[in-house]
Amino acid sequence: MEALWFAIASVMVALYVVLDGFDFGAGILHLFVAREDRERRQVLSAIGPYWDGNEVWLLAAGGVLFLAFPKVLASGLSGFYLAIFLLLWVLLLRGIGIEFRSHVADRMWRGFWDATFALASLLAPVLLGAALGNLVRGVPLDEEGWFGLSLFDSFSPFGALGILDWYTVLAGVFALVAITHHGALFLVWKTDGPVQARSRTAAARLFPLVVGLWIAASAATLSVAPLLLEGLRARPLAWISSALFLAGLATSFLARRAGRDLAAFLGSCAFLLGLLAATAAALYPTMIRAVPDAARSLTALNSAASPEALEKGLYWWPIGFVLALGYAALLFRLHRGKAQAAPEGEGY
């Protein structure tokens, strides 16, 4: 039962990264691929039907942890308090930037909120990537399962741990580039005209960076968490997931070159899903890794709620999951086709 809920939590996080990731990427790029107000409203129209619904998956992941692994949630919230506070502000500023920009038809007003939206969209994947890097690298858990970290301390591989250090910053930069590439492919699929052409160019330029940073992040991960390699070797699910993200990475490149825009975006989705799934499979059952004493780690086995709670949760989780998936599918169906800028005064 614990393994099932570990998988459910991993799925929630992966879906959040894939779905909210494309509007993060679009937000990062919109100052570059859209150079006038109408083009920027076209970018916002492309993500407008989805961005707030996509954030539901983050709440769903938190809900799963609250139900199934409350000790992991409590330890993570307290230990990463400052980073989570920053992430919440970033998410708030993204929403405010989208909603407020067209309230006043003034160039300076719109420029300010466009810049706010871009900066918030840039910081979000960096913070989320650094958070995943902390879980892989490990944190100094005490005997009762609690920890505290400063935002940064030393960027030396041999220095004191911080939320941001050489490894977690590398993980954050890799997440930033991969998400920006993901957003570029989404805009190639959902827009036309100059915005689509510039997004295609951005995707082509970002792809080598994605590959290079993935190789660097993988080598660094094996350095800070060598046991991860043993998990990859021992678990067939990790092999399958690794094959999925490699196939997705290749598809995103080949399909983009062939002009198959939807296939390229789906390839990017498969890359992100497979990468996160392979990481989760290799880490199982560890959820918060303790360093230097791995015996203190919080795992799916020693941090799970009671068997009765896990069993009863399975009665309700499938209903919510199907409803959320159905809603997302309905949105994509209702808003199929290329996004166009709304007329002035009608939003964004």
pTM for the predicted model, two decimal places: 0.95
How confident is the model over 56-75, as pLDDT tens digits?
Answer: 999 999 999 999 999 999 99
Question: Mean pLDDT, to the nearest integer, of 278-287?
Answer: 93
**What sign does the CA torsion over 276, 281, 283, 287 have?**
positive
Q: Do 248 and 274 contact (CB within 8 A), yes or no?
A: yes
78 pLDDT above the threshold of 80: yes
Say whether 293 sits in a helix, a strand or coil.
Answer: coil
Residue 36: its pLDDT value, please?
A: 92
89 pLDDT above the threshold of 60: yes
Confidence tier at 228 by pLDDT (50, 70, 90):
confident
How confident is the model over 293-346, as pLDDT tens digits?
Answer: 888 999 999 999 999 999 999 988 999 999 999 999 999 999 999 988 877 655
Question: Mean pLDDT, to the nearest integer, of 276-286?
Answer: 94
**What sign does the CA torsion over 173, 178, 183, 187 have?**
positive
In this structure, how many other beta carbons lie within 10 angstroms of the beta carbon of residue 206?
21
Q: What is the CA radius of gyration of the chain?
A: 20
Q: Do 31 and 122 contact (CB within 8 A), yes or no?
A: no
Question: Mean pLDDT, to the nearest integer, of 65-88?
Answer: 92
Angle CA 173–242–63, to nearest 5: 70
Residue 346: its pLDDT value, please?
A: 57
Question: Mean pLDDT, to the nearest integer, of 211-234?
Answer: 90
Residue 74: its pLDDT value, please?
A: 94
Residue extents of the structural domains in the chain: 2-334
Say whether 301 sits in a helix, a strand or coil.
Answer: coil
Q: Which two tokens stand for residue 201?
A: 């160019």
Say whether 260 sits in a helix, a strand or coil.
Answer: coil
Average pLDDT of the chain, as a whole number: 92
